[in-house]
Amino acid sequence: MPDPVTGLPVVGMIGGGQLSRMTHQAAIALGLSLRVLADAPTDGAALVTPDVEVGAADDPAAVAAFAKSCDVVTFDHEHVPQDVIRELVSAGATVYPGADALRYAQDKRAMRQKLSELGIAVPRWSNDPDGLPRPYVAKAVRGGYDGRGVWFIGPGDELPDTDLIFEERVAIVHELAIQVARTPSGKVRCWPVVETVQKAGICVEVVAPAPRLSTSLAAQAEEIATTIATELGVVGVLAVELFEAPNGLLVNELAMRPHNSGHWSIEGSTTSQFEQHVRAVLDWPLGDTRPRARSTVMVNLLGGPHTDLANSLPAAMAESPTASIHLYGKGARPGRKLGHVTTLGDDLVETRDRARRAVAVLRGED
């Protein structure tokens, strides 16, 4: 069911958030227009795309109806249930990443087990609340993100009442992430490893390439990402979040979609993660992923108590004329991810400063 005007395939994305929004932006360049299944007509992607269905990602009928006019279906989040995906595929839809791969992004226990089987280092973990000495980290097996579903558990603390795994508290030297894209025919391409800065479990800043990483650890991260993408049969973009620990790299999380740690690639790399995701799920050749500058810095815009974008957007443009500003079409609320800012440059400190200043003004900080 290619597009009748252009003859090009129709890519459908389940979820109407900023990842769909930015994927649509990238798709336009390739002659496409993303088809979106949004929760609401006011979702960020629904505001900017013409081909929108409104429906819940876990409603089998809505998802099936949506998929009918797509050549391939993909996701902007991990919340589509396994049985919904499997039903779609038996009905003839092409869905990437597939249910078997996506399971490892939906279920932290399955992910930890699988990576351990593959010989990939992960934090020491257990299914048994008494299997590790406290303090440790308890993680919800399903549904956690952006700091939700993660608890630091001290000696006397009660455990939250949900399905949990338990992990050692890693002595983190740096937090890292690496993006990789894989096609159904098995072609794989990594972007450079990035360093991420987290506050309260939420990514606030990304520097690409990771400025304080040895060449050998960078190569090891690429190998880990390539192995995971290949062995798990991922199709599309895979983000691997890593801890650099004193003894080496440990895999923390997986996301099988464009990811916040890859937003820098829109300006910072020859091919953005959004375009690459589209290429990958269509089994088209992958684009070059080299960085365009010595340093690229991405700073997230989280709503503050005084954020008012209609006023602060032009002020931020005045403050930082080199900042590439990305807003997600959301009303401002404290703590909400409203957008991000990217800067490129030769000098990391100066480049980061330009991005941070733009974000501070956008937030309405004094």
Residues contributing to the site for a second copy (CB under 8 A): 2-3, 5-9, 21-22, 24-25, 28-31, 33, 42, 46-50, 52, 270-271, 279, 282, 284-288, 290, 292-293, 308-310, 313-314, 317-318, 321-322, 324-331, 339, 344
Measured from the CB atom, the residue of 149 and 303 that comes closer to a second copy is 303
Q: Which is nearer to a second copy, 165 or 338 (CB)?
A: 338
2 or 147: CB nearest a second copy: 2
CB of 313 to a second copy, least distance (A): 7
- Which is closer to a second copy, CB of 201 or CB of 335? 335
CA-wise closest residue to 174 among 120, 249, 66: 249
Dihedral sign, Cα of residue 52, residue 54, residue 58, residue 64: negative
Query: What token pair was written down for 333?
Result: 């609320």
Q: Is 117 exposed, middle or buried (0-12, 13-18, 19+ CB in 10 A)?
A: exposed
Report in angstroms how near the CB of residue 155 gets to a second copy at its nearest.
47
- State in angstroms the smallest separation of the CB of 188 from a second copy: 13
Pair 341, 359: CB distance under 8 Å: yes
Q: Beta-carbon neighbour count of residue 137 at 10 Å?
A: 18
> Cα torsion for 313, 318, 319, 321, to the nearest 10°?
100
Q: Is the peptide bond before 211 cis (omega within 30 degrees of 0)?
A: no
Is 106 or 324 the residue whose CB approaches a second copy more closely?
324
**Closer residue to a second copy in complex, CB, 52/137:** 52
Minimal distance, residue 86 CB to a second copy, in Å: 28
Handedness of CA 206, 338, 179, 224 (dihedral sign): positive
- Least CB distance to a second copy at residue 327 (A): 3
Question: What is the smallest separation between the CB atom of 75 and a second copy, expressed in angstroms?
Answer: 20
**Measuring CA to CA, how many Å separate 106 from each of 37, 97, 103?**
19, 12, 5
Rounded least distance, CB 77 to a second copy, Å: 19
Amino acid letter, residue 144: G
Q: Check: CB of residue 254 under 8 Å from CB of residue 179.
A: no
Q: Looking at beta carbons only, is 43 or 175 nearer to a second copy? A: 43
Question: Nearest-CA neighbor of 364 among 313, 330, 290?
Answer: 313
Residue partners of 161: CB distance under 8 A and separation at least 6: none
Q: CA dihedral in degrees (4, 21, 241, 173; nearest 10)? A: 150
Helix pair angle (108-117, 99-106), 10° resolution: 110
Nearer Cβ to a second copy (206/282):
282
Across-strand partners of 151? 138
Distance CA 167, CA 164 (A): 10
d(CA 324, CA 313): 12
In the complex with a second copy, the residue whose CB is nearer, 226 or 343, is 343
